Structure 1
């Protein structure tokens, strides 16, 4: 094997963009697209960080550091990476149990797993996740995110933290008397703007207009002495012994994740037991990050008529998530909505994602103090819109009406498990159910039995002591018994059996064992077996099992004609002439 097969495909998208020609006009398009998507990403990054239980600046740091590294090192020209809504249901419980330090440690572990997947050439991973499973858990995530935003959208008080979805709903219902008029008005105005603005124009990002509308309404209400919860009232930072409202106006700086506080406020105590507890969550984060990033790259390719390198994209995602925790960032992955906006805005290369990260950096340094006035209800309204788009409710309802019943059942189970329990369980159960349904369908396609030789063909003139047995479909553990069960039913008059295997594409170990037992039974009954049309890989398995070196199988024949010639020769040798 040549050394080039071990080449690590870093910077694949960036190299491809420059190799195909990168002009000043391309740079101009990338800069404009990056500015547009950067403006959209700023409030979303803060809102998503709040949704997973950490301060808003950690979402911005994710977009800055993670978005920059992934864009440069990855395999998609257009992917815009940062915090995404898909991770909320996984990361929020981690934050609640292990604090910010545990969350960053999970991100670090997930980055290592993604890097290993990229090095192992697992870029086609998304092809092995059935569509009903993907739709089920993404719709479930959308429902959970929307539920989590009800508190800030209506300004509800004394909700607290709850271990399951039912308790969360009960707490929301109990808190309805504390609804805030100011927060509700701001949230409704922001949400209405998000819905209506794209119908007017797409030249100005609707997220920016909605955020401005909500913020101005919030300021107006506060001047009228109507309370409105703001980001500055919820979050603060300390500088030189002085507490300031909002987020710190500084660029991301180096931190050690395990030195940050856990859920109890004390520095995280990292040991093997903690890593063992965090590993399932890290695996789930890595798998979801890989699926979402590769799906996002496919969507972008469809919009721009390009092709991405899936292995390079996994490497980029892995490196980004390995580095971002050391700068206070949470889990990063490609965001479909932001990527689509970038493509529609004219992006030509990963430079657009780099500009998006730089726009976020400038916003942190120059505008952090203004962010303190952002209404929490406006950020909640933006996430409600994200949840609606993510759930793809119209498509889910359409699939429920027209989809195969078994696939619909998988979708609904994944959705309910995601909402009521967690996404890790939902994906695991969904994959098991989808695999079981696939096995059942493949088994239904497999079978075997005696076939009529007809009045024409190579076996037509042979006596009744010659039987043609045909096997169709893959022979594997769930189908082999069905395919071979009729072999034992032939009467004692059968002396020669031609087993036609031209329609058998594969054979696993379980089928091989059952096939060997069936051939041994035929041999004990004095029936000579001729295997016809055995594919090369199956014949190799039979040879390794020693079947061709024993008397169980008289011949491997490439065609029925050759089997007929061998049988005629044997009949002539024994003094039995073919009929007709």
Structure 2
């Protein structure tokens, strides 16, 4: 492992040379992301059981440090929906000081994980587990906002899922039509702008319009000012919470959960950013940057933070070139904290609830959830069990049980894939195949062979291989005759590989696909009738098809 692997991308960018034109592009992207992050940070702060200023502090301090010290060129960090459940429970059980201690510990755990080179461990989390727990968190976030969206008169909402809904149903007669109208109006504005003008900041427009209507008509609805009358302006001075061994012991399990979520979401976001921007992140340095950011956030009284996929995608689409864009996003949010905090008081709670409904909808990844329901029973069982345990029991339990079940089912499927031979020589010499598969390969064609099961532990290698090619070939042949098993994570990786190849202008040919992988590919829309790729019965026919495709280009 070289020192480069532990070099922040910001330092690399400055060494390469940083121009005024690049700064202009980064500043515009940073301002765009700040406009998106402003109402979102406030809403996440409230949903976590804290206050809106805590969410903004987190976006400023952690957002700055994640961009300055992380291993991704375009990652944007801050508070995210994944933490809402954990933060709410920690504050309820151990108070806000307990959360600060847990966040400090999580920061240290993340730094240690980066130093120990655990950045690649994300690939061992099966795809159904990731989708199951993110969809479960989405349901919990949406459920937590029902009270404010409907304007229900409930003094204390139960923390657990089923008692929460029992309380909601019991309080339905107290629903406020004014709050419901504001919430529906905010939802309509957000959805309308997403469909008709996606480049405009729908979240911020919904908040501004809702606040204006409530103030103009003097509607009897809860606002940030009525719920949090004493919001401080500016950043607080950094300080340590009161730490004791007893408090550390009490919050340590939560600290591991926060660190795990922060690491997983940050690395997932970095992978998404790589796919969109054509970059390659440094996973271990990203963990270290996330760890320092969580330490910084806790010292300023903020919440746990991680890379935010939606804000990172907005950053890239807005023209960000370097980590300076993420730093500028934090600077613009700081200016609001210094000079615009009083404006927060006018924001209706129902409008923030509408924003979090949309956040939950985005987190749910319902399309991938539904796609996994069409997978074999084993993948479906892992998905639904993780999803159910996340909602009804505990996030840590859900992930642990999901990964364990996925591993056991994988071993069972591998046992079924083993064939007992009769002692005859193998029909293929792997070394010979490796030696000759590139003979007579036409210019512009690349070939790879996958030998062995393609499952959640190795799925990420395929995309890494595509990125290492540099200039993409015009045709890529994937030889799959020696791949007996394909699970949901592997199918997802193949789907992403085909999509990335198509974006780079390359056609993909699958050669010698066995029955089980063929069935799995059909479930994700990559069957033989798909227009996204081609099939060949064997390698010779794949080569001939590659020549034919080259002739059409």
Normalising by the residue count of structure 1, what TM-score does the alignment of the two structures yield? Answer: 0.71
- Mapped contact 2:76–2:311 kept (Cα < 8 A): yes
Equivalence map 1:176-215=2 (5 Å)? 176-215=172-211
Equivalence map 1:23-62=2 (5 Å)? 23-62=19-58
Per the TM alignment, residue 369 of structure 1 is displaced from its structure 2 partner at its CA by 0.6
> CA 1:453 to 1:408, structure 2 compared with 1: closer, same or farther past 3 Å?
closer
- Whether 1:253 aligns to 2:237 is yes
- Mapped contact 2:157–2:167 kept (Cα < 8 A): no
Aligned partner of 2:227 among 221, 224, 234:
234
Partner of 2:396: 424
- Whether 1:160 aligns to 2:132 is no
Equivalence map 1:12-161=2 (5 Å)? 12-161=8-157
Partners of 1:117 and 1:297 lie apart in 2 by 16
Per the TM alignment, residue 134 of structure 1 is displaced from its structure 2 partner at its CA by 0.1
Partner of 1:297: 270
Partner of 2:409: 437
State the aligned residue count: 430
Secondary structure of 1:278's aligned partner: helix
> CA 1:148 to 1:19, structure 2 compared with 1: closer, same or farther past 3 Å?
same
Per the TM alignment, residue 203 of structure 1 is displaced from its structure 2 partner at its CA by 3.4
Aligned partner of 1:338 among 305, 311, 314:
311
Equivalence map 1:386-401=2 (5 Å)? 386-400=359-373
Cα deviation code 1:49-98 (max 9, x no counterpart) = 11111121111111111111111010011111110001111111101111
Per the TM alignment, residue 6 of structure 1 is displaced from its structure 2 partner at its CA by 6.8
Equivalence map 1:322-471=2 (5 Å)? 322-400=295-373, 402-446=374-418, 448=420, 450-451=422-423
Partners of 1:346 and 1:112 lie apart in 2 by 33
Per the TM alignment, residue 255 of structure 1 is displaced from its structure 2 partner at its CA by 2.4
- The gaps in structure 1 that reach 5 residues or longer are 238-246, 259-269, 455-471, 475-502, 504-580
- Mapped contact 2:6–2:284 kept (Cα < 8 A): no
- Mapped contact 1:45–1:83 kept (Cα < 8 A): yes
Per the TM alignment, residue 13 of structure 1 is displaced from its structure 2 partner at its CA by 1.1
- Mapped contact 2:120–2:283 kept (Cα < 8 A): yes
Normalising by the residue count of structure 2, what TM-score does the alignment of the two structures yield? Answer: 0.75
- Mapped contact 1:214–1:378 kept (Cα < 8 A): yes
- Mapped contact 1:293–1:335 kept (Cα < 8 A): yes
Secondary structure of 2:146's aligned partner: helix
Cα deviation code 1:400-458 (max 9, x no counterpart) = 1x21211011000000101111111100100110110111122223354653689xxxx
- Mapped contact 1:83–1:332 kept (Cα < 8 A): yes
- Mapped contact 2:49–2:91 kept (Cα < 8 A): yes
Per the TM alignment, residue 21 of structure 1 is displaced from its structure 2 partner at its CA by 3.7
Partners of 1:280 and 1:431 lie apart in 2 by 18
Partners of 2:452 and 2:120 lie apart in 1 by 26
- Computed over aligned residues only, the root mean square deviation of the Cα atoms, in angstroms, reads 2.0
Per the TM alignment, residue 9 of structure 1 is displaced from its structure 2 partner at its CA by 4.7
Partners of 2:50 and 2:156 lie apart in 1 by 15
> CA 1:6 to 1:397, structure 2 compared with 1: closer, same or farther past 3 Å?
closer
> CA 1:406 to 1:217, structure 2 compared with 1: closer, same or farther past 3 Å?
same
- Mapped contact 1:82–1:335 kept (Cα < 8 A): yes
> CA 1:103 to 1:8, structure 2 compared with 1: closer, same or farther past 3 Å?
farther
Partner of 1:491: none
Partners of 1:302 and 1:7 lie apart in 2 by 24
Partners of 1:183 and 1:256 lie apart in 2 by 39
Per the TM alignment, residue 199 of structure 1 is displaced from its structure 2 partner at its CA by 2.0
- Mapped contact 1:34–1:342 kept (Cα < 8 A): yes
- Mapped contact 1:301–1:307 kept (Cα < 8 A): yes
- Mapped contact 1:155–1:183 kept (Cα < 8 A): yes
